[in-house]
């Protein structure tokens, strides 16, 4: 390259290498600068200054889309939603810009503004079209887990407790935090569980494996890796010890990507959980990451993931067992909900309602242990 291209700067070298990699037709195979690579690694410790967006390249279109917003973040307060397409940042078009470079433009010192042009698709209660939003950056704390107990009355009138756990990202602490959370919910009397992976953009796949071993026993297949020659290699758990065998429902949606999809597929295909929600994002690539001598990094897609039952994930996604609609709820359940004087936001969530219904079905079949 040095002989062919009279490169005068690192940026020129990155640009030439990016051009070469683009011929592979894979938007996730890329080179990123030292600053972008440092930014990429921030998610592991969970602290940053920015607007609170998780973004990714949509593989079918190459567009940058919002996977999720951190709750109560500057972006969420500005009305940006999952599924929105990013078009410009501070007047600069994002054509051909990867997610790390775009994220770097969104980050900055708390209190400084950033202007984002977004396109919103048609959605219930929202207007479609392009708009420009001025967002003040702030301190973003990425806490991977939130939890609560949801009181639940079964069809036969018994009052039980459902443990609700939302996992927002697969950070280095996700598995340890999950284990502590399940132990706490068990001690508080939870008899069933809802694991919410909606709008979880993924993260460390190793963290997903560690989380799976909290819910599954033994050496079950976690995921399958398929190389470019078509060879399939199962990746198994190592001596999994489930903390609980109580009934489990996993919630997914269009913002559930990468490690979220892998975990959902593992729990589903191994018979541990029912999936409720909407079809997932469809990002199932395996990448090698090589840090170069100047601090930049080369990301190369080397294989793809299949679920334990050999269902393709990449550019396909995972279709849940049950869609989020209250139409299938039984009349007694609907009556109970309508008669509540005070219903929390979780209890009013249609996916939570459907999940509770599915937990009732599991328990009626004697699946709880």
For the annotated catalytic residues, the residue numbers are 258, 283
Nearest in space to 253 (alpha carbons), one of 329, 201, 309, 312:
201
> Alpha-carbon distance 203 to 213, whole Å?
17
Q: At what angle do helices 259-269 and 205-215 cross, to 10 degrees?
A: 30
DSSP single-letter state for residue 41: G
> Alpha-carbon distance 335 to 320, whole Å?
26
3-state helix, strand, coil in the chain (%, to 5): 25, 30, 40
> Tokens standing for 19?
């051009």
**Beta strand 221-227 pairing with 322-323:** unpaired
> Alpha-carbon distance 252 to 217, whole Å?
23
Residue with tokens 């977004």: 118
Question: What backbone torsions phi and psi does residue 116 show, to the nearest 5 degrees?
Answer: -125, 130
How many Å is the maximal CA-CA distance in the chain? Answer: 78
């Amino acid at each position: 390259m040095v002989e062919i291209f009279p490169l005068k700067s690192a940026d020129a070298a990155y640009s030439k290498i990016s051009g070469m990699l683009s011929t592979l037709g894979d938007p996730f195979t890329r080179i990123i600068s030292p600053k972008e690579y440092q930014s990429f690694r921030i998610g592991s410790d969970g602290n940053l200054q920015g607007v609170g967006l998780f973004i990714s390249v949509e593989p079918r279109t190459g567009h940058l889309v919002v996977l999720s917003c951190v709750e109560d973040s500057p972006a969420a307060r500005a009305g940006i939603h999952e599924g929105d397409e990013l078009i410009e940042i501070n007047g600069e078009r994002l054509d051909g810009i990867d997610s790390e470079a775009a994220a770097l433009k969104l980050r900055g010192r708390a209190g400084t503004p950033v202007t984002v042009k977004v396109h919103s698709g048609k959605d219930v209660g929202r207007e479609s079209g392009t708009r420009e939003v001025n967002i003040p950056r702030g301190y973003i704390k990425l806490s991977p887990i939130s939890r609560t107990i949801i009181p639940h009355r079964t069809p036969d009138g018994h009052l039980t407790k459902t443990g609700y756990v939302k996992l927002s990202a697969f950070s280095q602490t996700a598995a340890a935090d999950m284990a502590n959370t399940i132990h706490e919910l068990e001690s508080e009397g939870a008899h069933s569980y809802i694991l919410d992976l909606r709008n979880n953009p993924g993260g460390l796949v190793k963290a997903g494996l560690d989380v799976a071993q909290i819910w599954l026993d033994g050496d079950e297949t976690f995921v399958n890796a398929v190389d470019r020659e078509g060879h399939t290699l199962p990746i198994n758990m190592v001596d999994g010890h489930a903390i609980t065998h109580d009934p489990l429902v996993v919630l997914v949606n269009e913002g559930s990507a990468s490690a979220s999809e892998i975990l959902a597929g593992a729990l589903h295909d191994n018979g541990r959980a029912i999936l409720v929600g909407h079809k997932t994002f469809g990002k199932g690539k395996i990448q090698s990451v090589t840090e170069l001598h100047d601090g930049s990094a080369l990301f190369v897609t080397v294989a793809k993931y299949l679920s334990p039952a050999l269902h393709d994930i990449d550019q396909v996604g995972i279709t849940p067992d049950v869609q989020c609609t209250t139409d299938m709820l039984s009349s007694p359940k609907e009556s109970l909900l309508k008669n509540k004087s005070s219903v929390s936001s979780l209890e009013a969530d249609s996916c939570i309602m459907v999940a509770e219904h599915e937990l009732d079905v599991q328990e009626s079949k004697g699946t709880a242990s």
